[in-house]
């Protein structure tokens, strides 16, 4: 049995067992290494992708239950041009070890798509639960504001 997936604008047929987590299919079958395995329990956010624009944890979602268009980190840049959010991440020098950053960027992208001018509170609410062991939260917050075109007043970034 095969499953059809729409990933980053292309259709793929994969032969993975229907119960296989989407994360494994993306990484192992499709070679997309943006989404990371962190906890495998839906609790850290490292594996986040967007499905129809909604930030979704792919480590606990069986591939047979996927409905909609999947966007991974690799799908954010087009023709070698970085997404504004990716550029903001570079400008703010956000990552430390980098392990969590896929989840941070994909969750932030979903936020900005539904709310292009988020408040500090909106950002905190949306990003809650996407864990960073390196504590890069201040710079993540600043990068989201930069991408949204909102002035970053560093003394108020929490
Ligand atoms: S690896 Fe999916 S939430 Fe942690
Ligand atoms: S940058 Fe290291 S876990 Fe977030």
pLDDT tens digits for range 52-109: 999 999 999 999 999 999 999 999 998 889 999 999 999 999 999 999 999 999 999 9
Q: Which fold has domain 84-156?
A: DNA polymerase; domain 1 (1.10.150)
**Quick one: which atom of ligand 1 is closest to the CA of 36?**
1
Specify the CATH number for 3-75; select among 3.30.43.10, 3.10.20.30, 3.40.50.10490, 2.40.128.50. 3.10.20.30
State residue 70's pLDDT score: 98
Question: Which of the ligands is closest to the CA of residue 137?
Answer: 2
pLDDT over 70 at 157, yes or no = no
pLDDT over 60 at 117, yes or no = yes
* CA 20 – CA 139 distance, rounded (Å): 34
Choose one of 134, 139, 143 to mutate for the ligand 2 pocket test, by most ligand atoms within 8 angstroms of C-beta.
134
Q: Is the CB of 136 within 6 Å of ligand 2?
A: yes
Task: Report whether 59 contacts 39 (CB < 8 A).
Answer: yes
Choose one of 44, 61, 100, 130 to mutate for the ligand 1 pocket test, by most ligand atoms within 8 angstroms of C-beta.
44
Question: Which of the ligands is closest to the CA of residue 49?
Answer: 1
The pLDDT confidence band at residue 154, using thresholds 50, 70 and 90, is low
In the chain, where do the E strands start and end? 3-7, 10-14, 48-51, 54-57, 69-71
Task: Report whether 48 contacts 42 (CB < 8 A).
Answer: no
- What is the percentage of the chain residues whose pLDDT exceeds 90? 92
Which residues are registered as beta bridge partners of 21?
A: 62
């Amino acid at each position: 049995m095969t499953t059809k997936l729409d990933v980053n604008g292309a259709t793929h047929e994969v032969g993975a067992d229907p119960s296989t987590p989407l994360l494994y299919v993306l990484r192992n079958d499709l070679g997309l290494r943006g989404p990371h395995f962190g906890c495998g329990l839906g609790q850290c956010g490292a594996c986040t992708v967007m499905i129809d624009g909604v930030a979704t944890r792919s480590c606990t979602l069986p591939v047979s239950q996927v409905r909609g268009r999947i966007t991974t980190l690799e799908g954010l840049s087009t023709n070698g041009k970085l997404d504004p959010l990716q550029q903001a991440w570079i400008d703010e020098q956000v990552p430390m070890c980098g392990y969590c950053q896929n989840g941070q960027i994909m969750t932030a992208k979903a936020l900005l798509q539904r709310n292009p001018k988020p408040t500090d509170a909106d950002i905190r609410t949306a990003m809650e639960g996407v864990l960073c062991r390196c504590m890069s939260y201040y710079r993540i917050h600043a990068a989201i504001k930069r991408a949204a075109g909102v002035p970053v007043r560093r003394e108020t970034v929490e």
